Structure 1
Amino acid sequence: MTGPISEDGNPLAPALEATREFNGNLLILLAGLAAIGTLSTNIILPSFTSMATDIGVPARDLGLLLSSFFAAFAVGQLLVGPLSDRYGRRPLVVLGLAIFIAGSLWCSRADNMNGLIVGRVIQALGVCAASVLSRAIARDLFDGEVLTRALALTMVAMAAAPGFSPLLGGALEQALGWRANFLMVAVLGAVLIPLYLSGAGETLPPSHRNRKALTAAAPGYLRLLFDPRFLLPALAVSLVIGGLYGFFAAAPAILMGHLGLSALQLGWFFAATVFVVFAAGFLAPRFARRFGTVPVGLAGILIALIGGLALLPNLAGGLVPFSLAIAVFLFGMGLINPLGTALTLHPFPDRAGLASALLGCLQMSCAAAITALTSALPLPPVTALGTILASVSALALAAFLLYRNRVTAS
């Protein structure tokens, strides 16, 4: 992995020396910041039926609560990145979590579809700061192998949150009603504020801030998009992450409608997938240290592609084959996600917020598009999901091969 290069072609030192020890408290903090956005989305999925009944709309219309969240989340990150590079991480994290809490409380009181959509947009505009800046904070504090390990464990939490949150959401909905899910994520957001202030605080000192970050944001994003060091690994990661959200969107129809699982069994299935992601995230930095970041990232995409292909009709006729194919895809995703993220951010320590914001926007844009496409394809659910996962993995493989051949070879 080449060192960071400035826009005039000269080597750059990391934005901060990697003097902070990566300990359990920092792991909990970064994981919480990264995961709360995805948790706040998937926790409401088991409650769609009761929510639809209460507010008097068809359950299928509640898909707008997902697409509106993803769209606001994607756009909001483009503003958070340059603002944090100009004014520091702390005000954006604290203000973002406060806005997220307000949006969650709004949703808990909403009694119609429009009110819920407004609340979800407020949630997304707030929580996007926590998600994008979890990566920027890691880049502020760490470099090299430590950065890869920090991102690996953080991305495990971000990918695991959708697995556990439906189980938590189902239990809360059954015990206290669907509004309790929004109150729960509001409480979690409130807990994160003092945890962040005491555990990390400001990680970008004034001497490292970019005073032109706001005026340079648009051209800065364009430069990143045309820089293969950013674009190629970012596309690879975003496509595979989009496939993950496609799986979560399609899984209820497959597991409940086709394979006959109950809502509770669906929650346990999601929770079980987390351990596959845990294993991959645990092994990713160790494999990278031994075999190299790029080769292991490439292997992760190939494994994800195999998992997608295994979902095609002739290879997935029941719960066990489906589960095995999904486990293979998730293991590959768990390898490429942290390694590809580290490769994407490593060359840009002076623009960590900007780069992390654009990466997050690409990921959420892919999630929105792939989730919609998975539902819209005129194919049986398993076939549609297999087609989507295989296709996004193949595209990710092409992007990553270009990265290996054009960037790491230079």
Structure 2
Amino acid sequence: MPVEPKLKLTPSERRASVALAGLFACRMLGLFLLLPVFAVAARGLPGGDDPFRVGLALGMYGLTQAVMQIPLGLASDRWGRRPVVVAGLLLFIAGSVVCALAQDVFWITIGRAIQGAGAISAAITAWLADATRDAVRTRAMAMVGGSIGLSFAVSLVLAPVLVGWWGLPGLFWTIGCLGVASLAVARWFVPVVPRTEARSMNNVGPRQVLAHADLLRLNFGVFVLHCIQVALFVVVPALLANAGGLPTQALWKVYLPIILVSFVLMVPVIFVAERRRAHRGALRAAVAGLIVVCALLPGASEGFYTLAVAMTAFFVAFNILEALQPSLVSRVAPAQYKGLALGFYNTAQAAGLFCGGALGGWLAAQAGTHAVFWAAAGLSAIWLAVTWALKPLS
């Protein structure tokens, strides 16, 4: 396979890439912090003993994100990236306050809906596309993709500690503070992009993006990945706590080694895929790994150590896919499609987050935890079949 030449970001591109990746990571950390602990911590609230209502609360922000992602992405094309991102972060902060003050799962669900209405992922990735040249955009997109995986990893370790210190309301106040930090980054640290660059995508129609077969395959992939992610975390935290005899605030002792090992194993794969242009092969291998892990989870969940090993393998695959897919979207999409392509991609991601919470909660309530694992394996198998048709990169 041909080897990619070494590419360098200019100082302006490096600043924009680091700032936007940091903004994305900070905001996503605020969203992810709830996943590792909510299923356990919500038991003390009215409605917290119903798996469906818990899953709905976890996934609700994904529903409103799916609805708002494209409108806000198009608004950023017309009025600029920064104003839309700032407005979206203000909604995110407001939703966090509603959750912090909530006295039951219903109002947490409302707060999560408000959080998700600030759907700025498409605007952020389009901002990054504005700020970078085509030749280095893949590296910049991979930085953002990696920041999402990193924020999820940090949330697994940090969330149990925060709940142990301050309880569930304190966790939501922390999430609100992360929104404020993201607002500061968006307002003062991301460089201004000339309006002539930001408008380069305005004449592209949504139908053209929807008709692009490989983009549809990648959109389906990110939908499945995040559907599985949230569905598993409707049931896995309680399984780990029960199998290990651990209180919620001690779950970080399990998550920390899992995440450290998974990141060590993920980095070489990403490096080789980028250098050898083996993106398709790495993607297929990671999806195949998801199938195996999810199929083994019903048996692995019977023991604490086997479950921990299985979750480590899951996160190796998850982190690889989370870093690879945005990079692939930026490579596959023709130049005039990038803004809208990223909007549809992030809409599919948000829809997966909502469906994962709702599906995981419903399956757990109706058929038990093993049904969640088998459903995740089945979805991964369909994803692998869809992914196999991806065309080689030019």
**Structure 1 residue 208, shift from structure 2 partner:** 4.0
Give 1:263 deviation, angstroms: 1.4
Residue number among 382, 387, 393 corresponding to 2:374 in the alignment: 387
Secondary structure in 2 matching 1:43: coil
Report the Cα offset of residue 261 of structure 1: 3.4
Match of 1:243 in 2: 228
Counterpart among 309, 318, 322 of residue 337 in structure 1 = 322
Alignment partner of 1:338: what SS?
Answer: helix
Confirm or deny that 1:93 pairs with 2:85.
yes
Q: CA deviation at 1:369?
A: 2.0
Q: Secondary structure at the match of 1:79?
A: helix
| Pair 1:402 & 2:393 matched | no
The letter of the residue matching 1:81 is: G
Aligned pair count reads: 382
Paired position in structure 2 for 1:142: 132
Rounded Cα–Cα distance in structure 2 between residues aligned with 1:210 and 1:398 = 35
Q: Is residue 2:313 matched to residue 1:328?
A: yes
Change (3 A) 1:276 1:92: farther
Q: Say yes or no: does 1:307 pair with 2:297.
A: no
Deviations 1:213-262 (A, max 9, x none): 6xx7xxx3343222113111221233123222222222123212455433
Query: Could you tell me how far 1:190 is from its partner in structure 2?
Result: 1.6
Residue 348 (structure 2) aligned to one of 354, 358, 362: 362
In structure 1, runs of 5+ residues without a counterpart are 2-16
Confirm or deny: 8 A CA contact 1:284 1:338 kept in the other structure: no
Structure 2: state its 5+ residue gaps: 2-7
| 2:362 aligned partner | 376
Task: Select the residue among 131, 145, 150 that pairs with 1:155.
Answer: 145
- Paired letter, 2:34: I
User: What is the rounded CA distance, in whole Å, between the counterparts of 1:254 and 1:176 in structure 2?
Assistant: 23
Quick one: structure 1 residues 276 and 96, their matched pair in 2 at CA, closer, same or farther if it must change by over 3 Å? farther
43 and 231 in structure 1: CA distance in 2 versus 1, 3 angstrom threshold: same
Q: Is the 8 A contact 2:73 2:122 kept in 1?
A: yes
- After TM superposition, the score normalised by the length of structure 2 is 0.83
RMSD of aligned Cα (Å): 3.3
Output the CA distance in 2 between the equivalents of 1:376 and 1:51.
17
Q: 1:196 aligns with which of 186, 194, 207?
A: 186
Alignment of 1:8-407 (within 5 A): 19=10, 23=14, 26-27=17-18, 29-43=20-34, 46=37, 53=44, 56-60=46-50, 61-111=53-103, 114-126=106-118, 128-129=119-120, 131-142=121-132, 146-165=136-155, 167-203=157-193, 205-209=195-199, 220-279=205-264, 282-288=267-273, 289-313=275-299, 317-346=302-331, 347-377=333-363, 378-381=366-369, 383-404=370-391
TM-score (norm 1): 0.80
CA contact (8 A) 1:284 1:296 kept: yes
- Cα deviations across residues 354-403 of structure 1 (Å, max 9, x unaligned)? 2222111111212222333333335552x334313322221221111111
TM-superposed CA distance for 1:30, in Å, is 1.2
Q: Distance in 2 between matches of 1:75 and 1:277?
A: 33
Q: 1:38 to 1:247 in 2, by over 3 A?
A: farther
**SS at 1:202 equivalent:** coil
Go from structure 1 to structure 2 and tell me whether the alpha carbon gap of 1:166 and 1:19 turns closer, same or farther (over 3 Å shift).
closer
Kept in 2: contact 1:238–1:366 (CA 8 A) = yes
- Indicate how the Cα distance of structure 1 residues 82 and 36 shifts in structure 2: closer, same or farther if over 3 A, else same: same
Structure 2 Cα separation of the partners of residues 319 and 113 of structure 1: 29
How far apart in 1 are the matches of 2:144 and 2:29?
A: 13
**Counterpart Cα distance in 2 of 1:349 and 1:72:** 28
Give aligned-pair identity as a percent: 23
Report if aligned partners of 1:298, 1:336 keep a CA contact under 8 Å in 2.
Answer: no
The answer to whether the 8 A contact 1:242-1:367 is kept is yes
Deviation at 1:181, TM superposition (A): 1.9
Structure 2 Cα separation of the partners of residues 57 and 337 of structure 1:
32
Q: Distance in 2 between matches of 1:132 and 1:269?
A: 33
Q: Quick check: 1:306–1:329 contact (8 Å CA) kept in 2? A: no
